[in-house]
């Protein structure tokens, strides 16, 4: 394919080139949709996989983590997702988020990860 110098093209030539690109993309899409339909699939069936990076979700999604905050009635929150109502109301009353932190007990014998490299 020949290189096109876009900086030397006038506005009308750029608009025409854009139209050609759009027409080519529409043609390619329709060709791919026909081929996919022949295989028994559809664009909608693969749409979610493409948006998430080929069907792989986050490695952390669904993993349980230890709670970081504990409320007065023993409610807990791990610090992920939306702030729970009990914590929002306590903060509105003037309490500090740090006052709900759960103290971590030191664990003996736990090894640190070696850095790769």
Sequence spans of domains, the chain: 6-51, 69-100
pLDDT, tens digit (0-9, with 9 covering 90-100), for 22-79: 999 999 999 988 888 888 876 666 665 554 455 567 777 778 888 999 988 889 999 8
DSSP per-residue string spanning 28-52: HHHHHHHHHHHTT--HHHHHHHHHT
* pLDDT of res. 2: 77
pTM tops 0.85, yes or no: no
Helix H or strand E encompassing 13: helix 11-38
Chain-centre distance of CA 37, in angstroms?
29
Q: For residues 25 and 6, what is the distance between their CA atoms, to the nearest angstrom?
A: 19
């Amino acid at each position: 394919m020949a290189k096109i110098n876009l900086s030397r093209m006038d506005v009308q030539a750029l608009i025409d080139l854009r139209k050609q690109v759009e027409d080519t993309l529409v043609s390619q899409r329709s060709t791919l949709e026909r081929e996919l339909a022949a295989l028994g699939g559809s664009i909608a069936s693969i749409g979610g996989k493409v948006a998430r990076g080929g069907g792989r979700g986050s490695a952390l999604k669904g993993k349980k983590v230890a709670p970081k905050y504990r409320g007065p009635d023993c409610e807990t929150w791990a610090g992920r997702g939306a702030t729970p109502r009990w914590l929002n109301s306590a903060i509105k009353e003037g309490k500090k988020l740090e006052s709900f932190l759960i103290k971590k007990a030191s664990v003996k014998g736990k090894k640190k990860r070696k850095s790769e490299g």
